[in-house]
Amino acid sequence: MSCQTDVPSASSIFQNALTGIRQAEVVLAIIDGADPDSGTAFECGYAHALGTPILTGRTDFRRGGDDPGASVNLMLSQSASSFVVSAEPPATDSVEILGQRILEILAKLTKTL
């Protein structure tokens, strides 16, 4: 017995992501990891090119930036409208606190649109 599921094609995933970014008022990107996900980095660049505000969040305390002490690559940090880091060692912030910070910044960003 085989089970067939509808798996979206890479092309449809790509096109849907671009459409979503074009329609967005603000893009929220979580850029955790030693090096943020390349797809997320592309989406941030696309949003920046469109002039869409970008709010980036990071809970990863590892540093991967170009400048001393920077947490991410300068192309991500400089294109972001706001940058929230909530895991400076020792990580004491909770998910709820990070969520609250993100909501506060989103409210400010959407008021300026």
Query: What's the confidence (pLDDT) of residue 18?
Result: 98
Has residue 107 got a pLDDT over 70?
Answer: yes
Phi-psi region of 59 (alpha: psi -120 to 50; beta: other; left: phi over 0): alpha
Rounded alpha-carbon distances, angstroms, from residue 62 to 25, 44, 73: 30, 20, 12
Has residue 108 got a pLDDT over 90?
Answer: no
Has residue 80 got a pLDDT over 90?
Answer: no
- Backbone Cα Rg of the chain: 16
Domain ranges in the chain are: 26-111
Per-residue pLDDT reduced to its tens digit, 22-32: 999 999 998 88
Distance in angstroms between the alpha carbons of the first and the last residue of the chain? 53
The pLDDT of 39-51, averaged and rounded, is: 96
CA–CA gap between residue 79 and residue 83 (Å, rounded): 10
Average model confidence (pLDDT) across the chain:
82
Has residue 37 got a pLDDT over 80?
Answer: yes
CA–CA gap between residue 40 and residue 92 (Å, rounded): 26
CATH 3.40.50.450 is the classification of domain 26-111: yes
The pLDDT of 61-83, averaged and rounded, is: 75
Query: SS3 sequence, 7-63?
Result: CCCHHHHHHHHHHHHHHCCCEEEECCCCCCCHHHHHHHHHHHHHCCCEEEEECCCCC
pTM confidence score: 0.75
Per the model's pLDDT, the better-predicted residue between 72 and 51 turns out to be 51
